[in-house]
């Protein structure tokens, strides 16, 4: 294709002169030597090897295992799609999936709303602003294992600080992580504490990239703070929100480490999430084939969720990716 004439950009009115002819310098095909190609491959090869070796290849093998009756120790036996069929008849897998969806439904919207509110608050000129920002971000840097162990102490129904606080306030004592009706909600709370810092940082960056003149123009036109937030800030944050929603959904669907370090699925398996369930199957009960099949289902669901969000974002004109 040879570009002989550059099309006038949209918006240029009739009568304006067409831009001068530009000849785009394009290297002749012959100059792209094998040497250049090799150099190019040389640059991408190390990363490719890592990606293929540590992600694509293991994923492929996990698929092979998912069609086997395997414990990873004794010789495996091919069983076709039996492991996948078993999932459909496994009430515990269904329960675990429900717990994961409940967690996702509670966690993702809350983390986004909390992230926006905190970011807006921290975007104002405040004394000790750096201190508040650090406070919010530190839990995100702490490992989930540390967060979980800490939470165990805070929410211990007998000796924990949370119940002590309730006692001081004259409120009834709670079971928290040991009450089947509260455990999931408490997990959401712990996870929010750890993850909200990430959203805050993302939204702070987005808020600071909103041009001041747009805001000022809105104010000049008579918009109050709420209207500015509703009609200027919110639309500007939409692309970022698509990103945080996808990110936090993946975090929520793959929730494992917090469960592992706090409840181990207890009480009464009320906090067994799907990834914790597949870990238990593959590594505690020696059902590696079944565990792999579950992992592939989680992968498929995550893909669908992400695809739907991207599709929705594109349809509504929000370019996030």
Partner 1 sequence: MRRPSRLTAALAVLALTTLAACSSGSDHSGTTAVTTLDPDKDVTITWWTGQDSEADELLQKLADEYTADHPNVTIDLSPGADTTDDLLQKLQAGFASGDYPDVSYTYGSWASVLGKSGRTLDISDQVAQPDAGWDEFPEAARATATVDGQVIGLPAVVDNLGLIYNTELFDEAGLDYPTDDWTWDDFRAAAKALTDPSKNQFGTAYPTDGGEDTVWRFWPQVWQNGGDVLDDDGMPAFNSQAGVDALEYWRELAVDDQSVYLDQTDQKFEPNFYAGHIGMLISGPWVLYDLKSHKTPYAVAELPGTDGSHQTISGPDLWTLYDHDDSQRAAATFDFINWLTQPAQDVRWNLAYGNLPLRSSAADTPEFAQYGKDYPGADVFFKNLENATTPRPTVVGYTAMSRAVGSAISDVLRGDGDPQDKLDEAADAAKIDLQ
The helix-helix angle for 161-168 and 144-154 (nearest 10°) equals 40
Q: Is 312 in the site for partner 1 (CB under 8 A)?
A: no
Positive or negative torsion for Cα 55, 61, 66, 71 = negative
**CA–CA separation, 126 vs 134, rounded Å?**
14
The helix-helix angle for 57-66 and 288-315 (nearest 10°) equals 120
Q: Is 75 in the site for partner 1 (CB under 8 A)?
A: yes
Q: Name residue, tokens 């069609």.
A: 67
* Contacts of partner 1 in 282-311 (CB under 8 A): 282-288, 291-292, 295, 298-299
Instruction: Supply the minimum distance, in Å, between the C-beta of residue 250 and partner 1.
Output: 8
* Sole binder of partner 1 in the list 5, 18, 39, 55 (CB under 8 A): 55
* Sole binder of partner 1 in the list 83, 122, 262, 305 (CB under 8 A): 262
Is the CB of residue 147 less than 8 Å from the CB of residue 194?
Answer: yes
**CA–CA separation, 100 vs 95, rounded Å?**
9
Instruction: Supply the minimum distance, in Å, between the C-beta of residue 59 and partner 1.
Output: 6
- Residues 119-158, one symbol each (x = binds partner 1 by CB under 8 A, - = not), give ------------------------xx-------x---x-x
Secondary structure of residue 144 in the 3-state scheme: helix
Is the CB of 228 or the CB of 277 nearer to partner 1? 277
Q: Is 321 in the site for partner 1 (CB under 8 A)?
A: no
Instruction: Supply the minimum distance, in Å, between the C-beta of residue 41 and partner 1.
Output: 25
For 263-313, give the DSSP string. TTT-STTTT--HHHHHHIIIIISS-HHHHHHHHHHHHHHHHHHHHHHHHHH
Q: Is 72 in the site for partner 1 (CB under 8 A)?
A: yes
Q: Is 85 in the site for partner 1 (CB under 8 A)?
A: no
Binding site for partner 1 (CB under 8 A): 54-55, 57-62, 64-65, 68, 70-76, 143-144, 152, 156, 158-159, 177-178, 180, 254, 256-257, 262-269, 275, 278-280, 282-288, 291-292, 295, 298-299
């Amino acid at each position: 294709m040879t570009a002989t004439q550059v099309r006038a950009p949209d918006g240029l009115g009739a009568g304006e002169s067409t831009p001068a002819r530009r000849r785009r310098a394009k290297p002749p095909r012959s100059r792209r030597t094998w040497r250049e190609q090799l150099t190019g491959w040389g640059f991408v090869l190390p990363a490719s090897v890592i990606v293929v070796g540590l992600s694509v290849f293991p994923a492929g093998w996990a698929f092979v295992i998912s069609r086997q009756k395997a414990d990873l120790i004794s010789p495996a036996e091919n069983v076709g799609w039996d492991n996948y069929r078993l999932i459909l008849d496994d009430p515990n897998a269904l329960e675990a999936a429900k717990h994961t969806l409940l967690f996702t439904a509670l966690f993702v919207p809350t983390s986004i709303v909390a992230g926006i509110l905190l970011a807006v608050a921290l975007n104002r000129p405040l004394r000790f602003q750096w201190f508040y920002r650090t406070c919010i971000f530190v839990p995100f840097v702490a490992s989930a294992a540390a967060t979980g162990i800490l939470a165990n102490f805070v929410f211990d129904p007998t000796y924990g600080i949370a119940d002590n606080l309730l006692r001081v306030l004259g409120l009834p004592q709670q079971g928290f992580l040991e009450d089947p009706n509260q455990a999931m909600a408490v997990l959401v709370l712990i996870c929010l504490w750890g993850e909200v810092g990430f959203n805050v940082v993302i939204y702070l960056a987005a808020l600071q990239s909103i041009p001041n003149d747009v805001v000022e123009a809105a104010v000049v036109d008579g918009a109050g703070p709420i209207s500015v937030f509703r009609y200027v800030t919110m639309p500007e944050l939409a692309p970022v929100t698509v990103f945080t929603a996808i990110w936090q959904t993946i975090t929520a669907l793959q929730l494992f480490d917090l469960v592992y370090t706090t409840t181990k699925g207890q009480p009464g398996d009320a906090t067994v999430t799907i990834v914790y369930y597949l870990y238990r199957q593959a590594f505690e009960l020696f059902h590696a084939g079944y565990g792999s099949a579950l992992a592939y289902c989680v992968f498929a669901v995550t893909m669908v969720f992400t695809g739907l969000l991207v599709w929705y974002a594109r349809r509504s004109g929000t370019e996030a990716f």
